[in-house]
Amino acid sequence: MSSSLNFEVLIPRSLCEIENTDKLIVDDEGLASFFITWEKGIVSDLKPLNIENKKPTKILFPRFVETHSHLDKSFTWGEFPNFKSNYEEALSVNLEEHITRTTKKVLDRAERSLNLALKNGYRAIRSHIDTYEALEKNIWAELFNLQKEYSSKLKLQFVALAPLEFWDTDNGEKLAKKFSIHKGILGGVVVPPFNKKKIKSLLSKMLLLADKYQLEIDLHIDESTSDPGAGIKVLLETIDRLNIKVPITCSHLSSILNLKDNEIINLGRKIAEKEIKVIALPLTNFWLLNRNDKNTSLNRPVAPIKQLQKSLVDVSIGSDNVQDPWYSFGNYDPFYLMTCAMPMLQLSPWERLTLSSFFLAPSRLLNLSWDGLIKKGCPADFVIVDAEKWADIFSSNLTKKVFINGELYC
Ligand SMILES: [Zn+2]
């Protein structure tokens, strides 16, 4: 086991921080040449590499953070396929899967997913776990054991994805109390069409419960093609009325794309003002929403990342489902996500805000102790790939090495 390692690497300029930039060479794609050293898991030196006609042939990234996944149903596609590939059918097949669900099956799926995620370069994952009355009672104890088991390599956060009504029951309160010890997050779905009065009342109860136990909330909201922004508008009204401060994440927030530009900007300002964080999930949105088997259309709602960023909203990009009724593909691979999402959403990898949504915003969203910026004193938690330009990253034959706490993991 070597305690000191060093590399000549390229690092995206917006993902690193150094004091003296005098001799720093940054290429046209925003990749800067560095000499990096780490000892005992911590970066001990980071300096510009300035040798004429010599460019490193490796790119270094901080290990990735997945803001939105569903470990509990990953890899169920074989048993529970959804060949119609639309939202309604996904939900219906998902409910069929619930009937056969056991704690053991969920743990097997989660472990398989986490091992892949580690190998592919993730350091933290937030996962929603379907939560309903008939769920086996021991599941949360087992999931928190799993969280502990992986904690030296990967930080795992759980969101209990329940019907909003659940948070107004005794079992909901009991789970919230348990979550106050384990830092679990309350989840739910707010998708139109809905009864506005009823949703307002349920959201109020959920927010008050979160406030009582000092918990965060993460909602699947406005993952829809109709009623643009109906969910977020109700949520904002409810927060205003209650006048409480609960940390909130809005996952999806897709339909607001169909609002007028000035409406999106205004809504974005309110979202930023309330410090609500947003996760855009382009893969599932593009796959499930507005599906038309006869006509090809580009009309897919996805959170308007650039407008939201312009309104100072902290936006992350996540993967969502992996090989289950909601999304047939994926492999807990951040490079797959970047390869699909960047061209899909016209996000350029040499733009600071693009990289922020893949690296820095996710670290903030999960409240990680390291923000993902590479600098002296940061943890040596890296993915190093054989590449010298962005095109190499988005090719299929990427060779990579993952370092965890400074040691080669794979
Ligand atoms: Zn989801």
CA of 115 to the centre of ligand 1 (A): 20
* Average pLDDT estimate for 110-115: 98
Q: pLDDT tens digit string along 227-272?
A: 999 999 999 999 999 989 999 999 999 999 999 999 999 999 999 9
| Per-residue pLDDT at 2 exceeds 60 | no
- Confidence class of residue 133 from pLDDT cuts 50, 70 and 90? confident
- pLDDT tens, 286-332? 999 999 989 998 899 999 999 999 999 999 999 999 999 999 999 99
> CA–CA separation, 291 vs 289, rounded Å?
5
Q: Please report the pLDDT score of residue 297 as a whole number.
A: 87
Contacts of 46 (CB under 8 A, 6+ apart): 16, 18, 34, 35, 36, 37, 374, 375, 376
Share the mean pLDDT of the chain: 96
- At residue 70, the pLDDT reads 98
Confidence of residue 51 (pLDDT cuts 50, 70, 90): confident
Instruction: At 328, give phi and psi (nearest 5°).
Output: -85, -10
β pairing state of 58-62 and 382-386? antiparallel
φ, ψ of residue 315 to 5 degrees: the values are -110, 130
Q: Are strands 277-280 and 216-221 parallel, antiparallel or unpaired?
A: unpaired
pLDDT band, very low/low/confident/very high, at 382 (cuts 50, 70, 90): very high
How is residue 58 written in tokens? 């490796």
Q: How far apart are CA 24 and CA 253, in angstroms?
A: 39
H or E element in which residue 123 lies: strand 122-130
> Cα separation of 72 and 132, whole Å?
13
| Gap from CA of 46 to ligand 1 centroid (Å) | 38
CB 222 within 8 Å of CB 232? yes
Task: Report d(CA 394, CA 221) in Å as an integer.
Answer: 30
How high is the pLDDT of residue 52?
Answer: 79
Q: Please state whether 64 falls in left (phi above 0), alpha (psi between -120 and 50) or beta.
A: beta
- Ligand 1: centre distance to CA 97 (Å): 16
- Could you tell me which of 242, 236, 320, 333 has the C-alpha nearest to residue 285? 320
Give the Cα separation of 180 and 185 in Å (integer).
9
69 C-alpha to center of ligand 1: Å? 6
> Ligand 1: distance of its center to the CA of 128 in Å?
7
Q: What is the pLDDT of residue 54?
A: 86
Q: How many angstroms does the Cα of residue 222 sit away from the middle of ligand 1? A: 12
- 65/78 Cα distance (integer angstroms): 27
Q: pLDDT digit string (tens) for 394-405?
A: 987 899 999 999
* Ligand 1 mean position, distance from CA 189 (Å): 9
